A and B are shown apart, each in its own frame.
Chain A
Amino acid sequence: MKKWLETWLTRGAKSDAHARYLRRLRLTDGWVNVTRLGILALFVAVWEIGAEKGWIDPFLFSSPGRIWDLFLRMAADGGLFQDIGITVLETVIGFVLGTAAGTGLATLIWLFPFLSRVLDPYLVVLNSMPKVALGPLFIVTIGAGFGSVLAMGVAITVIITTLVIHSSFQSVDPNYLKLARALGANRRQLFCRIIFPACIPDMIAALKVNVGLAWVGVIVGEFLVSKNGLGHLIIYGFQVFNLTLVLLSLLIVAILATVMYQLVFHLEKRLLRHRQLE
């Protein structure tokens, strides 16, 4: 066993010194992971035992066991997955639409500098306004349903995306533009071949921020509309004082948001491959 661990720790070593270096590096990696999992396990265990022994009130703080039981029960009747599906759909569409519309708007105001100057104060006001306050307006115009929740997801991401991408367009190194023009580029080529691709890293950064923002928009939207989705489960659980339901929904939101962030992260790695080359 010990020998097997030793070969695994030093796999791919080029020399004895390299083997020792790799061994130290991988041991640290291992301990980091063990400690991470340990903290999680400890937290869950203390929570469960605390609720069992009455150190904390399980009515308020529930317990891992109760959450798991509820998950199994709700999973069995299938309603939970419908709520998850709705919320994921709203979030994904909201964040794709918000990012795409923001990029489109940024392109438009780059094309027409006059428009950019005209719209500037409006964008600043819209950006500083809390978008969730628009909720009631969405509900009366679009109706209490999927559309309103989606609108919230888009509203919360679109303005900040516009501002970030537009300033990214404008901060492209002027030497690149000078060179492209001297090489005969027209305005369209300048945008499509130089400015837009140069700003892709910033667009991905915006995408990362928007994943988080879209979740805020959609959950708040579901609070307000409160028909279905994880946001609805949270607010419903709160109203009937079923905190187990609230915590279960929160846990699912956390997992889904992490998965989405990881997907964007992988997209970034794929698109920016040329940057990692040495």
Chain B
Amino acid sequence: MNGSFAIELENVTKVYLSREDEVQALEPISFRIHSGEFVSLVGSSGCGKSTVLSLAAGLIRPTTGVVRIMGKDVLAPSNRVGYMLQQDCLLDWRTVKDNITLGLEFRGLKTEKTESHARFLLGELGLAHTLKQFPSQLSGGMRQRVALVRTLAVQPDILLLDEPFSAVDYQNKLYLEELLTGVLKKSKVTALLVTHDLEEALALSDRILIMGNRPGRIRRTLEVPEELRSATPLKARGKPSFRPLFNELWKEMDR
């Protein structure tokens, strides 16, 4: 693994074709994310953030260029990647227990050991009592926590997060952010987060990529100072350097 990155995009473009039109979603973009790094992608809607994430997840193929995960070309969804969406997408006909092991089931990794690890994660997130319940019995915040457990149960090295906390209320969002960073720190997982919440990006990330519109491109990279990186998301929001940086980000977005 000499010099290979967790996620690497090299001159990647994406053109969406339809009968009427072709739309260039991304102009050649390149970036690299180190192992263990937390990077956020921000930008106005329609700038191709989610396209970048889908490319990294192997859900779609780039029109030109190369996407690499752990130094290997991405041709299909990789076993080392976990993916999380804004919607919890829990299957309402399965109990929580069967929902959190869905990824293990799909990948043929469902064993006594992996299953008990999934149950352990559920306990870590304070939901051990919901094991036999159905998703319809849980609140929105709890459902998203179950979705997080399902994502982590496959023990990914890389997490791809597509606005995972934008549908839950503010209190739950802060709580989930704390949980997430806690888990990531422990397991040294790489994360790529797509969000339109600049506060969230600043509180969670080591680095922020600001994307521009039509076609999508990376306009600027912002390194988050150590003061904010070492603090938990909740504490980072209270640091003196947080506001000025937020304003800078805001101005950059506004351009």
The judgment on whether A and B are partners is: yes
Residues of A within 8 A of B (CB): 173, 175-176, 178-186, 189, 193-194, 197-198, 200, 274-275, 277-278
Closest beta carbon of chain B to A237's beta carbon, Å: 48
Q: Mark B134-151, 1 if CB is under 8 A from A, else 0.
A: 101100000000000010
A180 to B83, CA, bound (A): 10
Contact, CB under 8 Å: A184 / B107: yes
In the complex, A126 Cα to B87 Cα: how many Å?
39
Cβ B137 vs Cβ A181 within 8 A: no
Q: Are A183 and B107 in contact (CB under 8 A)?
A: yes
Given contact pairs A179-B85, A193-B105, enumerate 6 new A-B contacts (beta carbons under 8 Å): A173-B87, A183-B83, A183-B154, A184-B154, A186-B106, A189-B105
B79 at the interface (CB under 8 A from A): yes
| B81 proximal to A (CB < 8 A) | yes
Given contacts A176-B89, A179-B89, contact A278 B107 (CB under 8 A): no
Tell me whether B137 and A182 are in contact (CB under 8 A): no
Partner of B83, one of A182, A189, A200, A277: A182
Residue pair B83, A275 in contact (C-beta under 8 Å): no
The 5 lowest CB-CB distance pairs between A and B, nearest first, are A182-B83, A183-B103, A184-B107, A274-B134, A184-B106
- Knowing A274-B136, A277-B134, A278-B136 are in contact, say whether A181-B77 is a contact too (CB < 8 A): yes
Given A197-B93, A277-B134, A277-B137: A175 and B107 interface contact (C-beta under 8 Å): no
Closest to A271 in B: B93
Instruction: Say yes or no: A184 contacts B103, CB within 8 Å.
Output: yes
**1/0 contact string of B58-82 vs chain A (CB within 8 Å):** 1100000000000000000101010
Is the C-beta of B91 less than 8 angstroms from some C-beta in chain A? yes
Tell me if A184 and B77 are in contact (CB < 8 A).
yes
Asked if B105 contacts A182 (CB within 8 A), the reply is no
Residues from chain A with a CB closer than 8 A to the CB of B160 are: 182
- B residues adjacent to A (C-beta < 8 A): 54, 57-59, 77, 79, 81, 83, 85, 87, 89, 91-93, 102-103, 105-107, 133-134, 136-137, 150, 154, 160
Cα–Cα, bound, A197→B94 (Å): 10
Inter-chain CA distance A189–B79, complex, in Å, is: 16
Chain B residues within an 8 Å CB radius of A193: 91, 102, 105-106
CB pair B93 A200 closer than 8 Å: yes
B125 CB → nearest A CB, Å: 18
Query: Are the C-beta atoms of B136 and A175 separated by less than 8 Å?
Result: no
Q: Is the CB of B87 within 8 A of A175?
A: yes
A168 to B93, CA, bound (A): 17
Contacts of B85 in A (CB 8 A): 175, 178-179
Is A185 in contact with B106, judged by CB distance below 8 angstroms?
Answer: yes
User: Nearest chain-A residue to B135 (Cβ)?
Assistant: A274
Chain B residue at minimal CB-CB distance from A180:
B106
Known contacts A274-B136, A278-B136: A182-B89 contact under CB 8 Å: no
Closest chain-B Cβ to A183's Cβ sits at a distance in Å of 4
Report the minimal beta-carbon distance from B20 to chain A, rounded to whole angstroms. Answer: 19
Cβ of B103: which chain A residues have Cβ within 8 Å of it?
183-184
Chain B residue nearest in CB terms to A179: B89
What A residues does B89 contact at CB under 8 A? 173, 175-176, 179
Q: Which residues of A contact B134 (CB under 8 A)?
A: 274, 277
The chain B residue with its CB closest to the CB of A182 is B83
The 15 listed contacts between A and B (C-beta, < 8 Å) are: A175-B89, A181-B77, A183-B77, A183-B106, A183-B107, A186-B106, A193-B102, A194-B91, A197-B93, A198-B93, A200-B93, A274-B92, A274-B136, A277-B133, A278-B137
Nearest residue (CB) in A for B87 is A175
Contacts of B107 in A (CB 8 A): 183-184
**List of A residues within 8 angstroms of B83 by Cβ:** 179, 182-183
Contacts of A200 in B (CB 8 A): 93
Return A46 CB to nearest CB of chain B, in Å: 49
CA distance A176 to B4 in the complex (A): 32
CB contacts (< 8 Å) of A176 on chain B: these are 89, 91
**CB proximity of A187 to chain B, nearest CB, Å:** 12
Q: Which residues of A contact B106 (CB under 8 A)?
A: 180, 183-186, 189, 193
